[in-house]
Amino acid sequence: IMDNVSETLMFTLSGLSGTTNYRHTLFALTLLCYCVIWLVNLAIIVTIVVNRNLHEPMYIFLCNLCINGLYGTAGFYPKFLIDLLSTIHVISYAGCLLQGFVLHSSVGADFSILAVMAYDRYVAICRPLEYHSVMTTQRVCVIVFFAWLIPFCLLFLSSITTLRLSLCGSHIPKIYCINHLVGKLSCSASVAQVIVPAFNYTFYFLHIMFIVWSYMYLLKKCQFSAENRSKFMQTCLPHLLCLITVVVSLLFDLLYMRFGTKKLPQGVNNFMSMEFLIIPPIINPLIYGFKLSKVKNRIMQYLCGKRL
C-alpha cells in the first residue's frame, strides 16, 4: 500500500524562488534586522541582569521575554541568511523538525510569559500589600521554570507526532519549516495530527483569554484610583501593547497559511510569514525600554556615561 512512500531526508523550501535578482539587498536588510533584534533585546537583558534593583518579578519576566525573542529568532535568521546567499534552498529532515520546534515553542513561551506577567500585574495592583509575600523569589523561579517547560513539552509532543508520519512529498512552500506544513505532506491522515495541534491552539487561546480578562478586571479596579491608574499606564500598557503585537503578527501568518490565496506575490507571502519574527522581537523590548522608567533610566545612564 505504501509503495509510493520514499524516505524523506531533505525538504525543499520554495519561498525564496523569486528572490534571485535582489537577494543581496534582502540579505543586507535581513542581517541589519537581526542585528537590531540582538541589540535591543540584549540591552534589556544586560540592564536587568547587572542591576540588583531591577531583580523584581516584573523585570525578571521581561528579561525572559527578551531571552525568548532571541531564542525564537535564532531558529530562523541564521538559516534564512544562508539561504539568501545560496542557489539551493534545502533543509534536512532533522533540521526541519528542529526549526519547527524552536519557532513553535518560542511562540508558546511568549504567551506563557505574557500570561505570567498579567498575573504579576494583577497581584501588584489588586493585592499590593500581599505582593511580596505572594511573588517570592522562590515562587517567581518556579513560575519562570514552568513558563518555559510547558511550551517545550507541548511542542516536543507535537514534533514527535510529526516525526511518526509517513511522508509522500518533500516540497515546503515557505521560507522555513513548521509542523503543520510537514504534516500536510503525510500520506494519510492521523488522529494525532488533529488532536495535538487542536489541544495546543486551545491551550494558548485560553492564555490570551486569561490575559484579556485580567486587563478588563484591572481597568475596572483602576478607574476609581488615580494611583492605580498611573500604575496601570506605567506597567500594564506596555504589556498590553506587546500582547497585541504578538497576536496580530501571529494571526497574519496563521490565517494566511490556513485560508490564504496563492495569487499574492511571493514577496508579500514571505513578509507575512516573517512578520512575527520581525515585529515582536524588536517592538517588545523597545516598548518596555521607553515605557518603564527604571529600565529607560538605566539604559540612558549607560549610553550617556552619567548617573541620572
- What's the rounded Cα separation, in Å, for the pair 139 and 59? 15
CATH class of 10-304: mainly alpha
> Rounded to the nearest 10 degrees, how much is the dihedral formed by the CA atoms of 210, 44, 285, 308?
110
* pLDDT tens digits for range 118-134: 899 888 888 888 999 99
Average pLDDT over residues 261-289: 78
pTM: 0.88
Residue 1: its pLDDT value, please?
35
Q: Which stretch of DSSP H or E encloses residue 196?
A: helix 191-222
Task: Give the model's pLDDT for residue 8.
Answer: 59
- DSSP string covering 212-278: HHHHHHHHHHHTT-HHHHHHIIIIIHHHHHHHHHHHHHHHHHHHHHHH--TTS-HHHHHHHHHHHHH
Mean pLDDT over residues 195-215, rounded? 90
- pLDDT at 139 (0 to 100): 93
Per-residue model confidence (pLDDT) at position 274: 83
Share of the chain above pLDDT 90, in %: 33
74 pLDDT higher than 90: yes
Whether the pLDDT of residue 187 is over 90: the answer is: no
Rounded average pLDDT over 277-302: 81
Q: How confident is the model at residue 272 (pLDDT cuts 50, 70, 90)?
A: confident
Structure confidence at residue 77 (pLDDT): 95
Measured CA to CA, the distance from residue 116 to residue 305 in angstroms comes to: 34
305: left (phi over 0), alpha (psi -120 to 50) or beta: left
Residues sharing a CB contact under 8 Å with residue 25, sequence separation 6 or more, in sequence order:
none
Higher pLDDT, 1 or 184: 184
Task: Please give the full DSSP string across 69-96, using - where no structure is assigned.
Answer: HHHHHHTTHHHHHHHHT-S--EEEHHHH
Across the range 54-73, mean pLDDT stands at 93
User: What pLDDT score does 2 carry?
Assistant: 39
What's residue 165's pLDDT? Answer: 82
Instruction: Please tell me the distance from the alpha carbon of residue 7 to that of residue 167, in angstroms, as a whole number.
Output: 8
Instruction: Give 251 or 135, the one with higher predicted confidence.
Output: 135
At 33 the pLDDT is: 95
pLDDT-derived band of residue 256, with 50, 70 and 90 as boundaries? low
Q: Provide mean pLDDT across the span 48-57.
A: 89
Domains of the chain, by residue range, sit at 10-304
Contacts of 175 (CB under 8 A, 6+ apart): 13, 15, 16, 80, 83, 270, 273, 274
The backbone torsions φ and ψ at residue 13, rounded to the nearest 5 degrees and listed phi first, read -100, 115
Average pLDDT, the chain: 84
In the prediction, which pLDDT does 20 show? 67
Q: Where are the beta strands (DSSP E) in 18-177?
A: 90-92, 171-172
Backbone angles phi, psi at 160, to 5 degrees: -65, -40
- For the stretch 102-117, pLDDT in tens is 999 999 999 999 999 9
pLDDT surpasses 90 at 38: yes
Which residue is associated with the grid cell 523550501? 13
Residue 47 Cα distances to 12, 176, 285, 291, angstroms: 41, 32, 12, 15
At residue 308 the predicted structure's pLDDT band, cuts being 50, 70 and 90, is: very low
Q: What mean pLDDT do residues 14-20 have?
A: 72
pLDDT band at 261 (very low <50, low <70, confident <90, very high): low
Residue 260: predicted pLDDT: 56
Three-state DSSP state, 117: helix
Give the chain's length: 308
